[in-house]
Amino acid sequence: MKLLKGIWIGFWSGLILGLLLKWIQSVTGEQVYTLLLNVDFIPIIGNVQWSEVTEFIFHMSISLIIGVVFVYISKRRNYSFGQLVIISLLLSVPFPFLFFLLSWLAVEANVPAVTDWGAFLYWVFAHLTYSLLLPILYKTFERKNAVSQ
């Protein structure tokens, strides 16, 4: 059950993150969604021209893993919502730094420059939203299970 819950939480959190960044990119022109999906720097798979859907599946795969890890950590004890938020934020510490790393590593993709602070703030906002969705969805799932039992 932990695995399914983690997949469910990772799916919805990742989907919302992706759609939020796609919307931000469409409204502002900042290439934050492109940055999220870019894999052109990864050996072997970076040489392939993947479709947007396939690149989004790559993104979702990472989100599913994060969701499962979050659930496994959260299930160890009966954490309060505030503690779950802290766990989620601790798991999310790398996200802001990934902006700089992914921008720097990009080969051909039109992604924001490492020094694009506007794009960085959008990136952080969207990933903070993702981080807060993990405990919200976790508690929502817990409530639904408690009601159905």
pTM of the model: 0.91
pLDDT at site 145 = 65
pLDDT at site 47 = 82
Per the CB < 8 A criterion, the answer to whether 59 and 38 are in contact is no
pLDDT at site 132 = 97
How is residue 33 written in tokens?
């969604």
How is residue 22 written in tokens?
């796609």
pLDDT at site 142 = 80
Burial of 63 (0-12, 13-18, 19+ CB in 10 A): buried
CA angle, residues 16, 21, 24, in degrees to nearest 5: 125
Measured from the Cβ of residue 13, the count of other Cβ atoms closer than 10 Å reads: 26
* Residue 130 CA to its chain's centroid (Å): 6
Mean pLDDT per 10-residue interval, the chain, length 149 residues:
93 98 98 96 86 95 97 92 96 95 92 97 98 96 67
